Structure 1
Amino acid sequence: MSESKPDKIEFKMLDYSTIDGDTVSFKLEDGTIVKVKVGIERVGVATNYRNPDGSLHYAVNTSVKVYVIPHDKRFTLPRSQVKGQAPLQQDDSSSGKRPPSHFA
């Protein structure tokens, strides 16, 4: 006895909402915080297929983002990545010229 299985499984897209929040935070013994954010990109339920036990078949695409926040909350960037940065100039204190305060 051969069951006919579809060549392509069709899915109906489902809307979703978070229940308790999408982020879990952990504090490490050195004071560092690790945040893990889980999201659903797309979820659907099959319309022409069921699991072998008869239950609904779901397709879920997820994303996971990990953020590490050092205990001192400091980070560095290359100078070239800082926008609005004035070009480096030699300090000529005898001329009396000073850069604008927002370029300090």
Structure 2
Amino acid sequence: MSETWTYICATGELLPGEMRSGFDEVTGAPIVVFNHDGELYALEDQCSHEDFALSGGGAFDPEAATIECVLHGARFDIRDGRALCAPAYEPVAKFPTRIEHGGVWARDDRD
């Protein structure tokens, strides 16, 4: 588990309805952070169905709080990572976020 927080972007670069991606500095896990009506959510930036980045052309629907993988159409709830439709059945990992020193931070907190 990483105790080191990873800087994703400045707070002003992640407006409501937007997403930004980065990599955990310790574990190397890809992370995508979403701004959903001012609340920040972070998921592993990898579809649980296929090894493909959710942020790589994926459709973030801010109203529904979902991200759709562009590869095969699997959708996930950005608030908890759960899979919402086939072909994905497994959730994607959810990570903690925080705002500090004018920046958006996230980390891979898995054991």
Short-chain TM bin: under 0.3
TM-score of the aligned structures, taking structure 2 as reference length: 0.22
Q: Say which one has the larger Rg.
A: 1
Instruction: Compute the TM-score of the two structures, normalised by the length of structure 1.
Output: 0.23
